[in-house]
């Protein structure tokens, strides 16, 4: 589809979404964002940055570039490397500034309408927005906007922001953008592009990450610092919670347009979501995970012959566990990296094969051994059940499970895909019951204070916790307006597929 519209001339070339898919009506989350300004090859550099952020979302990717006259957009269902490595695609994204987005898939299938960046022609000119996070009052705001005549092009919560900007009081763009954001609640780390500026902004709690870097003479914004490493950009600093940076060719302006709040960064980014080679808020994700493993070994010691990680996410914690316990580390489970999600059939009967397709036991290492398995988290329990069975079938004498997070008991409404409580193993069962269900000789989770210690706090401050840990505690740091009005944005059920990979 190609169209040109309004004063900013967006040329948008999209592909991959079927008509059926357009019927799907869900909000989406789990994303990565990137932006660069000004740089020759801005789109190619954005594609590389998005490739480094691919772990944050694998369903779709998009780039919007501005060439001084036109906004050009390319959006695709699929992986960055499958589409944005083609010179023909990059050639359609001329300009010295670009922003991009990767997003995660859903149970209902891919939907090109929701692939970001979202773009709108406003009276002020074009505006493209890439969003990581999830708004908890988007449904309510959308209903209000629609009642007032707004026509939505997608089901994404991000589009609500575009409408709010368009309806804001006339004034300087940064004020209109801030006024729009003061109306939303929830989590947002945004990178936006207008015909004059690139803007980066983090919600007042700073739930999702956003970092600022330099690449030659350009400014770079990204969800994680690993996106700087891939292009050789240098990390400058994190965008602070509640901060908006407005970047033009020669200068960067920082404003704080929101009410000041104590930050509540997502602790699960350290446990699982971020890439281990990233540094977030001054903490190395890899080091944090190793430290979680050390704490776990001290809190839940076990007499065993081997520490074996559930690859890949359990690896750094298992290294820390082995180091602190003195038990040898072995790669007793090998992961096949070529199992794509599309390879997994959706029927239960076939899905059951998932973990065997993805993981295999290294028998020679495991036979006759007392094994400690280390994984980052148990969500539904599907992975643990299958991995434990695999390890037992390989001849392990004892299987102990250690989990580098407290029990996951509550859904995330801020941009991490989790099922509703009823589907979470730890919501329904005690630790003892879970041990029986997944058939381990012992099961231990890190404590909340242990996790806080591992990421650099002495303990969880119960009166005013330093992180968002709502998935473990149920203490949500914002209002959940949509939920309280029964307008809940459905939690995505992809996790079933992802765990079964």
Tell me how far apart the alpha carbons of residues 105 and 340 are, in angstroms, rounded to a whole number.
13
Report, in Å, the least distance between residue 386 CB and ligand AMP.
8
- Which one of residues 32, 95, 293, 381 is an interface residue with ligand AMP (CB under 6 A)? 381
Site for ligand AMP in 249-288 (CB under 6 A): 272
Of 208-216, 252-260, 335-343, 372-380, the segment contacting ligand AMP by CB under 6 A is 372-380
Asked if 379 interacts with ligand AMP (CB under 6 A), we say: yes
Within 8 A by CB and 6+ apart from 454, the residues are 270, 288, 291, 292, 294, 295, 446
- Site for ligand AMP (CB under 6 A): how many residues? 19
* Per-residue binder mask for ligand AMP (CB under 6 A), 328-367, x = binder: ----------------------------------------
Asked if 188 interacts with ligand AMP (CB under 6 A), we say: no
Q: What are the strands, taking DSSP E only, across 57-185?
A: 60-66, 71-77, 97-103, 118-122, 125-135
Q: How far is CA 223 from the centre of its chain?
A: 9
Q: Which is nearer to ligand AMP, 45 or 401 (CB)?
A: 401
Pair 307, 327: CB distance under 8 Å: yes
SS3 call for 222:
strand
Q: Which is nearer to ligand AMP, 178 or 292 (CB)?
A: 292
Pair 199, 174: CB distance under 8 Å: yes
Q: Which is nearer to ligand AMP, 35 or 381 (CB)?
A: 381
What is the gyration radius of the CA atoms in the chain, in angstroms? 23
Pair 161, 190: CB distance under 8 Å: yes
Within 8 A by CB and 6+ apart from 127, the residues are 119, 120, 121, 162, 165, 192, 193, 194
Q: Which is nearer to ligand AMP, 221 or 495 (CB)?
A: 495
Pair 434, 443: CB distance under 8 Å: yes
Asked if 375 interacts with ligand AMP (CB under 6 A), we say: yes
Q: What six digits make up the tokens of 52?
A: 């480094």
Report, in Å, the least distance between residue 237 CB and ligand AMP.
27
Q: Which is nearer to ligand AMP, 194 or 383 (CB)?
A: 383
Report, in Å, the least distance between residue 55 CB and ligand AMP.
10
Pair 377, 408: CB distance under 8 Å: yes
Of 149-157, 239-247, 297-305, 369-377, the segment contacting ligand AMP by CB under 6 A is 369-377
Q: Which is nearer to ligand AMP, 23 or 431 (CB)?
A: 431
- Which one of residues 212, 223, 499, 501 is an interface residue with ligand AMP (CB under 6 A)? 499
Q: What six digits make up the tokens of 225?
A: 């610092």
- Which one of residues 278, 365, 383, 481 is an interface residue with ligand AMP (CB under 6 A)? 383
- Which one of residues 417, 469, 482, 501 is an interface residue with ligand AMP (CB under 6 A)? 417
Asked if 498 interacts with ligand AMP (CB under 6 A), we say: yes
Q: What six digits make up the tokens of 399?
A: 């299987």
- Which one of residues 105, 313, 365, 489 is an interface residue with ligand AMP (CB under 6 A)? 313
Q: Which is nearer to ligand AMP, 159 or 269 (CB)?
A: 269
Tell me how far apart the alpha carbons of residues 12 and 452 are, in angstroms, rounded to a whole number.
45
471 in active site: no
Report, in Å, the least distance between residue 38 CB and ligand AMP.
36
Asked if 305 interacts with ligand AMP (CB under 6 A), we say: no
Asked if 418 interacts with ligand AMP (CB under 6 A), we say: yes
Residue 348's Cβ-side half-sphere holds a number of Cα atoms within 13 Å equal to 1
- Which one of residues 77, 93, 190, 378 is an interface residue with ligand AMP (CB under 6 A)? 378
Tell me how far apart the alpha carbons of residues 102 and 482 are, in angstroms, rounded to a whole number.
25
Asked if 53 interacts with ligand AMP (CB under 6 A), we say: no
SS3 call for 439:
coil
Give the DSSP H or E segment for 361.
strand 359-361
Report, in Å, the least distance between residue 6 CB and ligand AMP.
38
Matching residue, tokens 């979302």? 57
Asked if 377 interacts with ligand AMP (CB under 6 A), we say: yes
Q: What six digits make up the tokens of 299?
A: 């809190």
Of 55-63, 172-180, 181-189, 491-499, the segment contacting ligand AMP by CB under 6 A is 491-499
Other CB atoms within 10 A of residue 196 CB: 14
Asked if 224 interacts with ligand AMP (CB under 6 A), we say: no
Q: Which is nearer to ligand AMP, 72 or 278 (CB)?
A: 278
Matching residue, tokens 């036991």? 361
Asked if 203 interacts with ligand AMP (CB under 6 A), we say: no
Tell me how far apart the alpha carbons of residues 98 and 66 are, in angstroms, rounded to a whole number.
6
Report, in Å, the least distance between residue 472 CB and ligand AMP.
12
- Which one of residues 59, 238, 376, 469 is an interface residue with ligand AMP (CB under 6 A)? 376
Tell me how far apart the alpha carbons of residues 197 and 173 are, in angstroms, rounded to a whole number.
10
- Which one of residues 416, 426, 438, 448 is an interface residue with ligand AMP (CB under 6 A)? 416
Asked if 382 interacts with ligand AMP (CB under 6 A), we say: yes
Q: Which is nearer to ligand AMP, 162 or 374 (CB)?
A: 374
Tell me how far apart the alpha carbons of residues 43 and 271 are, in angstroms, rounded to a whole number.
31
SS3 content of the chain, % helix, strand, coil (to 5): 30, 25, 45
Q: What six digits make up the tokens of 220?
A: 């770079």
Q: Which is nearer to ligand AMP, 288 or 313 (CB)?
A: 313
Pair 35, 100: CB distance under 8 Å: yes
Binding site for ligand AMP (CB under 6 A): 272, 310, 313, 375-384, 416-418, 495, 498-499
The residues carrying an active-site annotation are: 31
């Amino acid at each position: 589809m190609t169209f040109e519209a309004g004063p900013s001339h967006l040329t948008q070339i999209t592909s991959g979404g079927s008509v059926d898919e357009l019927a799907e009506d869900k909000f989406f989350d789990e994303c990565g964002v990137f932006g660069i300004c000004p740089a020759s090859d801005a789109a190619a550099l954005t594609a590389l940055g998005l490739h480094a952020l691919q772990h944050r979302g694998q369903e779709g990717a998009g780039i919007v570039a501005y060439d001084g006259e036109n906004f050009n957009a390319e959006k695709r269902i699929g992986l960055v490397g499958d589409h944005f490595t083609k010179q023909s695609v990059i050639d359609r994204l001329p300009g010295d500034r670009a922003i991009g987005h990767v997003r995660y898939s859903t149970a209902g299938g891919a939907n090109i309408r929701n692939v970001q960046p979202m773009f709108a022609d406003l009276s002020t000119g074009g505006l493209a927005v890439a969003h990581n996070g999830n708004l908890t009052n988007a449904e309510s705001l959308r209903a209000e906007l629609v009642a007032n005549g707004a026509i939505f092009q997608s089901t994404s919560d991000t589009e609500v922001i575009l409408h709010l900007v368009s309806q804001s009081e006339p004034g300087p763009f940064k004020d209109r953008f801030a006024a729009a954001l003061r109306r939303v609640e929830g989590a947002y780390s945004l990178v936006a592009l207008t015909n004059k500026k690139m803007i980066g902004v983090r919600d007042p709690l700073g739930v999702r990450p956003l970092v600022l870097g330099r690449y030659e003479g350009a400014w770079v914004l990204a969800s994680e610092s690993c996106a700087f490493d891939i292009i050789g950009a240098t990390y400058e600093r994190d965008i602070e919670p509640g901060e908006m940076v407005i970047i033009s060719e020669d200068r960067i302006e920082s404003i704080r347009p929101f009410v000041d709040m104590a930050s509540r960064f997502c602790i699960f980014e350290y446990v699982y979501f971020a890439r281990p080679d990233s540094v977030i808020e001054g903490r190395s994700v890899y080091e944090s995970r190793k430290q979680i493993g050390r704490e776990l070994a001290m809190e839940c010691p076990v007499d065993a012959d081997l520490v074996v990680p559930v690859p890949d996410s359990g690896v750094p914690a298992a290294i820390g566990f082995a180091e602190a316990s003195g038990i040898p580390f072995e790669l007793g489970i090998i992961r096949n990296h070529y199992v794509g999600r599309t390879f997994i059939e959706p029927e239960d009967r076939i899905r059951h094969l998932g973990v065997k397709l993805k993981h295999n036991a290294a028998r020679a290492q495991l036979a006759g051994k007392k094994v400690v398995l280390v994984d980052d988290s148990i969500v539904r329990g599907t992975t643990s059940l299958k991995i434990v069975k695999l390890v037992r079938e390989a001849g392990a004498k004892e299987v102990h499970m250690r989990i580098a997070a407290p029990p996951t008991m509550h859904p995330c409404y801020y941009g991490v895909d989790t099922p509703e409580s009823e589907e979470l193993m730890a919501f329904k069962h005690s630790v003892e019951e879970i041990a029986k269900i997944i058939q381990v000789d012992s099961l231990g989770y890190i404590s909340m204070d242990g996790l806080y210690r591992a990421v650099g706090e002495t303990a969880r401050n119960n009166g005013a916790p330093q992180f968002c840990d709502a998935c473990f505690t149920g203490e949500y740091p914002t209002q959940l307006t949509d939920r309280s009005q029964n307008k809940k944005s459905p939690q995505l059920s992809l996790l079933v597929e992802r765990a079964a990979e």
